[in-house]
Every structure is written in structure tokens, then in C-alpha cells.
């Protein structure tokens, strides 16, 4: 049973799985807020205890999930509202410090693979200020307080031969930022959340974990400074799509008197048995496949502008 896990990077979906099984998680506090005027739902989940962290399979900390059904639409005004909300949420997780911060933004992922290019694209659109401040000072921007923002795209191990953590730690040692923002593409359990959900957390991130390619983590413990991770799900495991289809089929057969007996047999399987059946049916050709929407190139382009605008507002 311990090997049966829903493949998702979203803490919200992990919690939903426990709710479906009617399991209460102690040490996890959840608050929900719905911005009706903008059709945005914000869920804040705080893992407060080690037992809660063990049950969730995630480190202790704050996980904020912003869901917007129309995030994938070509509506610049709506994306502006999302950017404003993102800026507020990022500021909420920043370390308490009165003077302007030095911020390192790391765009994780592979620029050559569209679903994984979110991080690099966000850094491309950022307002980088550190070099200007070092050369001309804060008055070059006409402001009393300006955060020093720098950016890096460390690439992936297949391109550099180095872990992202190794590259980023070297940059941190040289530039001494106060906080790091890590941007990465995630994997979701539900197809309806693809390109429509943003997760912000103060616990850091494990690059590549969404597709089972676990690399060294980026967190305060590993790089020495607070790490705020921002991610958007762009892929879903093929097995989860088959699982959802099987569940829809079972419901359809239950409503059909001729097929109700067959649905009873399938419905008698628990989640682990269904997963094992699906894995056997998919193996070996499809069990490692991840699926992404056909218009992912346009989605990544829009999302990269939305996230970079949110960061520019947060540190302007």
C-alpha cells in the first residue's frame, strides 16, 4: 500500500485524496478563500507538525494554491488580476526584513522541452535590477527602496553535467542574496488543474520530482537561505487519466441496468487494486508516459508573462 501514491506535486491534491478516503490529517490547518469578483480560489494549507508532514509526504511549512478556471484564456486583464494576487501571496511568504531585499530568481527546467520551459521563460521576462543598483544606486529607478533582483537559468543535468543545486549554491555564495524564488513546472493529479493552478510554498522544491526524476532539493537547509517555490502544473501522469476514465466508466455502467452487474465487480476493487490493474494494462509501453495539453506552447507563453509580472510587482 505504501507504493500506491497519487503522482502529484500539488499539496492540495494530496489533501483531497485523504478527504476522499475520509481520513483526517492531524497537524494540518487549511483555510479557503474565494475571490468572487475575479473567480479565483485561494487555499492556504499549513503543515504544522512532523506527524502531519509524514502523513502528507511533504515538509512542514505553508502551501498556498491559487486556482483560476480562466487562467488558460487569452484575457490580459484577467491575467493582470492573477499577477496582482500572486504578488500579494509572494510578499506574504517573504522573510521579515525592513530594508530592500536581494532576491535570486531561479528558472528551473529545460528550455528545449515546452512543458518544462516555464522557469526559464519567467526569468526571460523578469525586471532584473541588481546590476543597475550596483552601478548607479537606487535612484536610477527614481524610488526610495528597490529590491535587488537577479536571475539564473541553471538548465538540467543532461545539458550541464551538474545538479541545479550545485550551480545555485555557487551563485548564492558569490552574490549573497537574502531569499531565492524557484520557478518550476509541476505535475498534477487532475487534468482540470493543468495551466490553471499556481502553487506557492516556503518549503523549497525538488527539481524533476513531477516526472519521477528526483534531483537534489532546493530548500533553506540545502542552499542556506529561504526558498520560495512557485509552480504551475503542465503535465499529468497517463495512469491517472486512465484511472479517471475507469471511474467515469463505472459510473456510466451503474446507470445502465444491463451493465450494473459488471460495474459492481469493478467497483469492489479498492484504489490500490485499481491502480495495479491500470499499471499492468499500461505496462511496459505507457506506464512512464506523461501527457500535456496540445496548446501547451501558448499556455507556457501566457503563464510566463503572468508569473514574471507578479514577481515584478512584488519586488517593484
- The pLDDT tens digits of the residues spanning 76-92 come to 788 899 999 999 999 99
What does each C-alpha distance from 41 to 31, 69, 71, 77, 289 come to in angstroms?
Answer: 11, 9, 12, 17, 30
Give the span between the Cα atoms of 247 and 283, in whole angstroms: 20
Predicted local distance difference test score (pLDDT) of residue 118: 96
- Global confidence as pTM: 0.86
Q: Could you tell me which residue, 283 or 133, shows the higher pLDDT?
A: 133
Predicted local distance difference test score (pLDDT) of residue 1: 34
The residue ranges of DSSP E strands in 72-129, in sequence order, are: 102-107
Q: Write the pLDDT tens digit of every residue in 41-60.
A: 999 999 999 998 988 889 99
- The DSSP code sequence of 275-306 is HHHHHHHHTTTTTT-EE--TTHHHHHHHHHHH
Return the SS3 of 148: strand
Predicted local distance difference test score (pLDDT) of residue 4: 41
Question: Percent of the chain scored above 90 by pLDDT?
Answer: 52
Least confident of 201-210, 250-259, 285-294: 250-259
Q: Give Dmax (Cα) for the chain.
A: 78
Q: Could you tell me which residue, 22 or 247, shows the higher pLDDT?
A: 247
- Cβ(108)–Cβ(184) under 8 Å? yes
Predicted local distance difference test score (pLDDT) of residue 55: 86
Predicted local distance difference test score (pLDDT) of residue 126: 96
Q: Is the pLDDT of residue 307 over 90?
A: yes
Domain over 11-236+294-314 is classified CATH 3.10.20.740: no
- Per-domain residue ranges for the chain? 11-236+294-314
Give the span between the Cα atoms of 316 and 310, in whole angstroms: 10
Q: Could you count the other beta carbons within 10 Å of the beta carbon of residue 137?
A: 10
Give the span between the Cα atoms of 28 and 16, in whole angstroms: 12
Q: Which residues contact 121 (CB under 8 A, 6 or more apart)?
A: 107, 111, 300, 301, 304
Predicted local distance difference test score (pLDDT) of residue 63: 96
Residue-averaged pLDDT of the chain:
85
Question: Percent of the chain scored above 70 by pLDDT?
Answer: 84
Q: Which residues contact 304 (CB under 8 A, 6 or more apart)?
A: 118, 121, 122, 124, 125
Least confident of 4-18, 196-210, 232-246, 263-277: 263-277
- Phi, psi dihedrals of residue 93, rounded to the nearest 5°: -95, -5
Predicted local distance difference test score (pLDDT) of residue 6: 54
What number is the average pLDDT over the span 85-100?
Answer: 89
Q: Write the pLDDT tens digit of every residue in 173-220.
A: 999 999 999 999 999 988 889 999 999 999 999 775 545 555 678 999
Q: Which residues contact 130 (CB under 8 A, 6 or more apart)?
A: 102, 148, 149, 150, 175
Amino acid at each position: 500500500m505504501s507504493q500506491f501514491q497519487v503522482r502529484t506535486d500539488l499539496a492540495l491534491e494530496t489533501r483531497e485524496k485523504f478527504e476522499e478516503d475520509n481520513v483526517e490529517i492531524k497537524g494540518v490547518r487549511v483555510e479557503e478563500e474565494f475571490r468572487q469578483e475575479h473567480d479565483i480560489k485561494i487555499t492556504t494549507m499549513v503543515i504544522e507538525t512532523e506527524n502531519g508532514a509524514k502523513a502528507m509526504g511533504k515538509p512542514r511549512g505553508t502551501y498556498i494554491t491559487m486556482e483560476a478556471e480562466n487562467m488558460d484564456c487569452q484575457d490580459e486583464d484577467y491575467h493582470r488580476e492573477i499577477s496582482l494576487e500572486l504578488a500579494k501571496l509572494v510578499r506574504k511568504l517573504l522573510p521579515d526584513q525592513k530594508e530592500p531585499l536581494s532576491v535570486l530568481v531561479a528558472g528551473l527546467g529545460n528550455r528545449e522541452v515546452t512543458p518544462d520551459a516555464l522557469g526559464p521563460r519567467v526569468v526571460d521576462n523578469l525586471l532584473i535590477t541588481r546590476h543597475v543598483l550596483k552601478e548607479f544606486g537606487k535612484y536610477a529607478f527614481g524610488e526610495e527602496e528597490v529590491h535587488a533582483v537577479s536571475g539564473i537559468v541553471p538548465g538540467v543535468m543532461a545539458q550541464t553535467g551538474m545538479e541545479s543545486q550545485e550551480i545555485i549554491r555557487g551563485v548564492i555564495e558569490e552574490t549573497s542574496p537574502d531569499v531565492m524564488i524557484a520557478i518550476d513546472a509541476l505535475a498534477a493529479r487532475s487534468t482540470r488543474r493543468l495551466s490553471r493552478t499556481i502553487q506557492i510554498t516556503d518549503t523549497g522544491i525538488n527539481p524533476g520530482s513531477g516526472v519521477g526524476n528526483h534531483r537534489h532539493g532546493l530548500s533553506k537547509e540545502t542552499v542556506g537561505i529561504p526558498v520560495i517555490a512557485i509552480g504551475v502544473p503542465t503535465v499529468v501522469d497517463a495512469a491517472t487519466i486512465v484511472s479517471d476514465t475507469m471511474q467515469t466508466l463505472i459510473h456510466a455502467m451503474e446507470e445502465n441496468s444491463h451493465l450494473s452487474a459488471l460495474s459492481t465487480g469493478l467497483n469492489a476493487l479498492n484504489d490500490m487494486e485499481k491502480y495495479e490493474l491500470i499499471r499492468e494494462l499500461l505496462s511496459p509501453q505507457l506506464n512512464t508516459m506523461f501527457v500535456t495539453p496540445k496548446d501547451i506552447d501558448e499556455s507556457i507563453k501566457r503563464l510566463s508573462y503572468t508569473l514574471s509580472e507578479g514577481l515584478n510587482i512584488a519586488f517593484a
